[in-house]
Structure 1
């Protein structure tokens, strides 16, 4: 073998003249003693070690599959090869485990000392023939060395025309290395030599194999991350609204942008409520990953369920706060030993808009307040009681109410829009104000302008944006009657309702509305307390409301055949598409909605179809 002896000049001993193999030290401090040519081999070995050491820090700097593959090519050129091409299965690029790594291959990297060498371009599908060195290497899971490509018929037969163009660029030697990690073949890396007239040797093959092995581990890590990221993104997408229900209270537009570091727990929703009202919700679960996305879905579902109870915003947040605290206790309370992180840190903003009164009621739990844009373009950020984040428990939430002119815009967002460590908070708010200060702009245009002007260049947190432009229900579509608690007035209410429905062109709905209001008014007189108010709302549905000052709520029950009563609310349920109770500071409101349809399926007034066979005999 070739042994190397390294001496310092101060340690070099004087020997008599004529003694063989003794060399006086030159101006440098090192002296190599050994067989001829040992210095050249030592330098080459040292360079290989330096390359491998540098590769351990420069390959795998990101969790992006294509970027990691390119880092392998950048390390190899020009110290090992003059050109490098890397082909990966499309499944690997998606994050999946390839079932057949040989097809379909996707040209992922082309890198070299020049950009005009005619290899297959990046993005092209590569269909390799079985005789090619690359496919032999991939199928045999071994490194294949072709010292002279002019004498490699398998490589030439893949594409003779392209092969001749490549040879014309003095490319003459090839090493094909499979990218193997954890027993999985992830693709193939091809190393080409052009400038050095000497062909690749065994040392070059070993170095290429070592580089490819290290890169394959990093590529597999990136592939696994890509798969998990795609799974979390798909989960979150399925948990976010796929579309908003039809309603006339607000015109909405929305945007969602995941953070560069991973999917988080931001969410939003638009929930139709009784009496033509609508709820707007934006929330944020602190953190990223699968747990944050799953928690977001649970909170969004819970918020919709609490909204169905017709609760005011502060009570909805109280129920969500209790839910988050209970979930946190059940899942270990964020104890690392429990294996499941806690979810303390969730925030929420809940808004209810009533188009009949133009009143907007809102409450927040540690969430940024919304922006209010008046029809003239004036932007304000209302002072809302902050409220604690969800899950702390024991602290109250407060509501605030505003009157909004028709055409105002409510802009709800999560903190990822305005919080960025590279930008001052006040500067971000001012950018948001300028982006919103344009009168009479559709919500879609508002979303687009906000994203262009306010979103950070590299978002570190998720961003949810919800823009709602308010509308008002026409006063001519609202009818109200105030009554004393007198049973004799029920017939007069029925007559007044019939006349008003005739004015609206809803004669075919009059029968169901009369029965509904008769039952609701009679119940309010019998079991509630006066005064009583009857209200009709003509929107997408006909809503019949009866309000009184009592806080007792009726319950639906199924009367037996021999019972003399108990069928009133059953009639209400059969004649309406939905009904319920809403509590107010003055008492309660019992409401029922009658569906409206028109021939041809267009929205508008028409007949309500009632199947009297479904109504039991009384």
Structure 2
């Protein structure tokens, strides 16, 4: 096929395109460049059913690009003859300059405007297509069928490639080919790539009159040793010609690099070049002078006949016939320097137009031509551009100040300098700004071509004098160049003995550059030269300054991130529980691990409740950073307050949901929604465990379900109603109850534990199951096992883990009585309670408990409803509970001196350590706790 598209793939892309146009997310099935182009089209307001492209008049249809491309497109047309293919040449803006058609009748079927230059395929007019994508991506691009944004182009497929100026790399235009998806032909990408290379070669031939003059002078010299013929019209050998001799593209790059270096040397030479598979080629450089006295250098490459392989599959791209002189190559060993120096190896064959045969199985072809001085500057400029290009990808790969400094040094050595040292204030390493960078410098990086050079070691404090180049650059904010360190008095005066050791290692030239970013001084970068005898120059200073500026910006970003990360982590840890409350319902262990990319809003909590119950809570706020940490603190505080109100899990989540909705409105305005950038959202799991009944009641809001480990090691994940995430508002939550055997373990965690880009969630849950399937382990051991086996090595999100091992309240420490609403029965309850307290050895609190029960039971009989139940629980405190089926709650008030009632709850508050009301599905419970260690003089003492 013309391309590798299949009908199924195009159908899949078509469905993805429909989802995209409807505003739905497209997660897979569409190549990234295509999806990015679609996004740009949508932002520009393009319609997929748009009409024909616009037409521009006044284009330069006789320019150098057209002159270079016209013969190549003519040859392409002959190759594509009889097919539905069409080839277009555009300028750098996407305006068509030339068109060629495989079938001549296609021209007559098109509107006249489409057969002439001028209509435009830029992305802002026609959407996603090969021409516009090649301009945006700056490389060979394919667009097939439904990948086109405009519907009118979806019956075709196309490929486009930029055409660059060979000297400066600028994009001069685009060469594109297209045809019907059902057409068959050799791959279009390969065709237009080879055609674009041919156009670029022709552009090179047009590039400079001086180089053409040098080329002609070279050809004239060649012709003068022949029979008098003039070998005009020569050309530079290209990749297609070299591939005829078995030279692959990587070999071609090596040859061009070495040829450019030979031109910059400006002298006659013969150099052997090692290419792939251990083969060797020879490059010959010779000087030549034009009649107008332009001096230059030409480079020839000697190719052995026995490298010749099968001819090109696309001969139409050649600038001349590919037939070679038929000279058999005699058996011989590898090409060496002696063979290449023979005079007959330099003698061209008559009429070969830049080609010579040595008669010894060698073919000489012209490789490159240029002027030495221009070549030197061009070579140096290219190498500097390569260093800067490398710096853009190597510096700033992490948000770590020290690592960024090392990346600067690794980029500069050995391309710019032989040694690099970087000194930073300690405050910058902590993420802060240094008040006085010159007095707080520490050696952060020492990197060079060898490790034995005696620079100050990493980690040592560096005290620099004001006259040193380092301090001068810091004070002035400018680059300081010391071309000869032997005469740099300020540098030597800093530490003469140390300077002598460096000079003995041939360190002779220095560039000191301040690391400045956004007005903040971050430190000093110093570049040293030792191997190359020439000192640093102005161009080196410019390059060093550019590298330092890029690195400083990355380091400042890393410093700011470090500061924010430290603040957020400090805030996060200050808002998390610093210690666990004392209670006997569960044995608890926990872990918290912040994400590497930034602190999030994960939290956990353990909250003691009345009646020996305990609440377990984990949650995760959407986002990272200070905002997420602050929101987490507000949520945790609110959750504790709601828990103090003795709310059921589903009610507590409803209150938290309402709170987040209000926060979202305050921070994001009335237009904020769940998908908005300012959305305040969270997930949460809330559980209440009652050791008297061994029942655990749970509800969750979009949070992962807990894991339950039974005493025999069986691991399950209870199926709880999922519930929506907090912050949506108005949606109900459901509660589920689970009966837990004593010594079960309940594991609550946030999604950072099981979510990892390199691992499926089901796989993570299996790992969690395996880590938990060990009966008899303590909560601390369980935490360690889970973090070791399940937590990602580089967590992208916070991890909060809470492990609770359940205990059951012994039945002999619980006493309960049920009585009717009869005031006469109050004395019976008091008497039974006093007996039970005596059995427990709590006679010291009997008087206070007797008064409490009298008041609470009397209130239940007077204001409540049957049945009435009294319960005593002997825990860390003595808990008195009176329950009834009425929902009327008592309120404490300040009674006037003339009131006959209203003092009962006041008395309860004085006698009890704490008291309160909690509602149940059947009514309410009034409870009061008495401290067992009663201080002297307390109303609960027997001496009252």
- TM-score (norm: length of structure 1): 0.90
Q: Quick one: which of 691, 714, 717 aligns to 1:381?
A: 717
Aligned counterpart, 1:102: 438
Question: Would the aligned equivalents of 1:582 and 1:590 in 2 still touch at CA under 8 Å?
Answer: yes
Distance 2:585 2:215 in 1: 98
CA contact (8 A) 1:344 1:389 kept: no
Cα gap change, 1:558/1:24 in structure 2, threshold over 3 Å: closer, same or farther?
A: closer
CA distance in 2, matches of 1:332, 1:266: 22
> Size of the alignment, in residue pairs?
599
Partner of 1:610: 938
| Structure 1 stretch displaced more, 401-410 or 201-210 | 201-210
Alignment of 1:188-337 (within 5 A): 188-332=524-668, 335=671
Instruction: Pick which of 83-92 and 234-243 moved more.
Output: 234-243
| Equivalent in the alignment of 1:21 | 293
Aligned equivalents of 1:24, 1:165: Cα separation in 2:
44
- 2 CA distance for matches of 1:557 and 1:500? 32
Contact 1:509 1:608 in 2 (8 A): no
Q: Provide the residue aligned with 1:493 in structure 2.
A: 829
**1:198 to 1:22, Cα distance in 2 relative to 1, 3 A:** closer
Residue 657 of structure 2 contacts residue 729 of structure 2 at CA under 8 Å; is this kept in 1? yes
- Post-superposition CA distance 1:180-204 (Å, at most 9, x none): 1222211011111121122223332
The 5-angstrom pairing of residues 76-475 of structure 1 reads: 76-332=412-668, 335=671, 341-343=677-679, 345-475=681-811
Residue equivalent to 1:553: 889
Q: Could you give the per-residue CA deviations for residues 53-98 of structure 1, whole angstroms, max 9, x where no partner exists?
A: 4323432233221122122111211011111111111111111111
1:445-474 CA-to-partner distances (Å, cap 9, x unmatched) read 111111110011221221111111111223
Displacement of 1:157 in angstroms is: 4.5
8 A contact 1:594–1:608 mirrored in 2? no
- The gaps in structure 1 that reach 5 residues or longer are 598-605, 613-618
Deviation at 1:51, TM superposition (A): 2.2
Summarize the Cα distance change of 1:308–1:262 in structure 2 as closer, same or farther, 3 Å threshold.
same
> How far apart are the structure 1 equivalents of 2:494 and 2:563?
33
Kept after mapping to 1: 8 A contact 2:473/2:479: yes
More divergent stretch after superposition (500-509 vs 253-262): 500-509
Helix, strand or coil for the counterpart of 1:246?
coil
SS at match of 1:102: helix
Q: TM-score, normalised by structure 2?
A: 0.60
User: Looking at CA atoms only, which structure, 1 or 2, has the larger radius of gyration?
Assistant: 2
Gaps of 5+ in 2: 1-167, 169-206, 222-289, 301-365
Retained in 2: the 8 A contact 1:268–1:466? yes
CA distance in 2, matches of 1:336, 1:565: 52
Deviation track 1:570-616 (CA, whole Å, cap 9, x = no partner) reads 1111222221111122221100112233xxxxxxxx5575259xxxx
Map Cα deviations across residues 106-149 of structure 1 (whole Å, 9 max, x no partner): 22222111233332333333233334332232233332223333
Q: Does 1:585 align with 2:921?
A: yes
Aligned match of 2:843: 507
Picking from 35, 40, 46, the partner of 2:382 is 46
What secondary structure is seen at the aligned counterpart in 1 of 2:588?
strand
1:245-295 CA-partner distances (Å, limit 9, x unpaired): 111111111111122221212111111101111000011122222322222
Tell me the CA shift for residue 238 of structure 1. Answer: 1.9
Identify if the C-alpha distance between structure 1 residues 609 and 194 changes in structure 2 by more than 3 Å, giving closer, same or farther: farther
SS in 2 for 1:122: coil
- 2:699, 2:576 → 1: CA distance? 22
1:615 is matched with which residue? Answer: none
The 2-side partners of 1:197 and 1:129 are apart by: 28
**Aligned 8 A contact 1:596 1:607 in 2:** no
In 2 relative to 1, CA 11–591 (structure 1 residues): closer, same or farther, beyond 3 Å?
A: farther
